[in-house]
Amino acid sequence: MSEIALQVNFGLNIALLLMLVAIGLAIARTRSLLAAILLMGMYSLASAVWLIVMDAADVAFTEAVVGAGISTVVLLGAILLVRAGPVRHNWRMTIAPAVLVLGVGGLLVYAVTGLPEFGDPASPTNAHVGRSYLIQTSDEIGVPNVVTAVLASYRGFDTLGETVVVFAAGIGVALMLGFGPRSNLPRAPAATGDHHVVLRVTAKLLIPLIALFAFYVQFHGDLGAGGGFQAGVILAVAPILHALVFGLRGTIAALPVRAVRSVATMGVLLYSGVGVVCMINGGGFLDYDYLFPPSVEAMIPPGLMGEPYHAHHWGQHFGIFFIELGVLLTVAATMVTIFYGFAGRAAEEPGAST
Amino acid sequence: MVDALHLVGGGLVVAGALLTLLGGVGVLRFPDVYTRIHAASLTDTGGATLVLLGLALISGLTLETLKLGLVWVFVMLTTPAAANALANAAFSAGHTPRIGAFQIMKSLAAGEARSDTQRRETSDDDKSSPP
Amino acid sequence: MLLAAGVAGLVVAMTMMIWRAIVGPSQYDRMLAANSLGTKIVLLIAVIGYLSGRPAFLDIAIVYALINFVTTIALMKFFRYRTLSRPLGPEAKDG
């Protein structure tokens, strides 16, 4: 990185952190829930740029799609379900939380002084296991993106846990709000004389492109930033946009609640199924080196998976492929289930806002 | 040759950033929502075109150029549509333009908004927002 | 050098948008500011990618351009109809 790029990075760090502080103060100050949601979306946008400046492309990707996209839509759905506005408390009731917040904040600031320098090669995160991941990935796993290798292979069990957490969150929301609308959804209006032609045409153009781009992110995850989580959220955005523009009734006709639910379950089953296949073939749970039995690996022509050639790269490659597919299915279906829950619930109470 | 392309590309990027900056000034200084939408959406699409064209000149003919083209297509599709939706929502919620020459439109909009509100019986959301 | 100047201009424009979002006055101003901030961030990501020699950041810029639109539509629909499930159109006869 050139000298000028470093200087620009430094300036950007300061500018973006100041922006985050300003937006955070505004969120704390505003009395309007809607303004708070809007400002939180902007906070996510700005913090994702900051993550890009810090060269954490995968995290920035997630922050962009989850923080700025899905959570704004879900929060809007949530605000439709609560009827109360902001509540003003007696100032005495705020003393204990304020002391707690100041205490924790002071401890965090104190902890910052003990952190290693940014990019310090001798820091604990860079020295032990992180360094060995960086050194051994090309030999042991054979995918260019080390983040994907760590996430899907070295720490595959943790990622299974995360996928199950996402699934459990979807089940929880569905149990509380219903899997989808049970009663009357508004019908599609007559198509003449409305002012939303522009939106409908744009949405029709964009929805397939969004779905296509989700699959690009999914299958490009081995090589660059991206992967199952990000792709799943992007894929879920396509039906959400459809529901926003064309109505939830049409979306549910195209993607029935039952189908979405089974896809979410299938994703978790696919992920853990890969682990079980590895165990059957004599390895540990999610040990992709054993995904294919040696008799299959012997049939692979050399040079097909690039250099340096190892037969187990084949198993690693397909193991990562399948578990990322499982993550994609679970995350996308769970996000759609959550959206169905919030949006469909609001449709049942048409008088809620008046 | 390559240096000249880099220079022209960098110049286009700066021009696009200046256009965006101009739009920012408009968003801060203009009196009501509609003029602000006008300022923001026009300069956003124009600035995006200039910046992405400049970057395309810098990168030459590679895969990145295709991606820049994709970004351009998406920005050109979404920004005007979002501005249209925004102005539509603001108008139907009863926001009236505030510029002097639009007095006729203002009274029209007020009448339209009133009948619109009565027909749909929705509450005006601006009452919940702080002044 | 020129790219750095472009980054500076975009950051100042972003600050203006954040200022507009904080002061309001109406929610539509905030929506406008959020949408416009998103477009500026798309451009900023693209320029940063070229400045630091990582054009792969363009993927994230594309995602931003898409997500930003969906968020704006959701907000617009929320403000106008107070529901996320209704189709867009002229009348709510049976809503």
Name which of A35, A200, A346 is nearest C85 (Cβ-Cβ): A346
Confidence of residue C91 (pLDDT cuts 50, 70, 90): very low
What does the alpha-carbon distance between residue A263 and residue A337 come to, in Å, rounded to a whole number? 10
Domain assignment of residue A125, yes or no: no
Are A85 and A160 in the same domain? no
CB pair distance less than 8 Å for A57 and C56: yes
Measuring CA to CA, how many Å separate A66 from each of A62, A232, A335, A346?
Answer: 6, 10, 10, 22
Are A92 and A144 in the same domain? no
Domain assignment of residue A219, yes or no: yes
Are A209 and A241 in the same domain? yes
Domain assignment of residue A14, yes or no: yes
């470093």: which residue's tokens? Answer: A6
Are A162 and A293 in the same domain? yes
Are A2 and A111 in the same domain? yes
A205 part of contact set with chain B, CB < 8 Å: yes
Q: Tell me: pLDDT of B18 over 90.
A: yes
Residue A188 DSSP symbol: P
- Reported as a single tens digit per residue, the pLDDT across C14-41 is 999 999 998 878 888 888 999 999 999 9
Are A98 and A221 in the same domain? no
- Reported as a single tens digit per residue, the pLDDT across A238-279 is 999 998 888 888 888 888 888 998 999 999 999 999 989 888
Q: Tell me: pLDDT of A348 over 70.
A: no
Are A169 and A208 in the same domain? yes
pTM metric for this prediction: 0.84
Residue A160: how many CB atoms within 10 A of its CB? 20
Are A62 and A141 in the same domain? no
For residue B121, the chain A residues in CB contact (below 8 A) are: 354
Domain assignment of residue A52, yes or no: yes
Domain assignment of residue A265, yes or no: yes
Following CA atoms A37, A327, A213, A174 in sequence, which dihedral angle do they give, to the nearest 10 degrees?
-40
- Reported as a single tens digit per residue, the pLDDT across A150-203 is 888 888 889 899 999 999 998 998 888 876 555 556 555 544 445 678 888 888
Name which of B67, B79, B89 is nearest C58 (Cβ-Cβ): B67
Domain assignment of residue A123, yes or no: no
Are A339 and A195 in the same domain? yes
Name which of A45, A217, A245 is nearest C38 (Cβ-Cβ): A45
Q: In chain A, how many domains are there?
A: 2
Q: What is the pLDDT of residue A246?
A: 85
Are A349 and A274 in the same domain? yes
B21 part of contact set with chain C, CB < 8 Å: yes
Expressed as residue numbers, the domain containing A300 is 137-354
Q: What is the pLDDT of residue A187?
A: 57
Q: What is the pLDDT of residue B103?
A: 54
Residue count of chain C, please give it. Answer: 95
Q: What is the pLDDT of residue A305?
A: 59
Q: What is the pLDDT of residue B114?
A: 52
Are A9 and A154 in the same domain? no
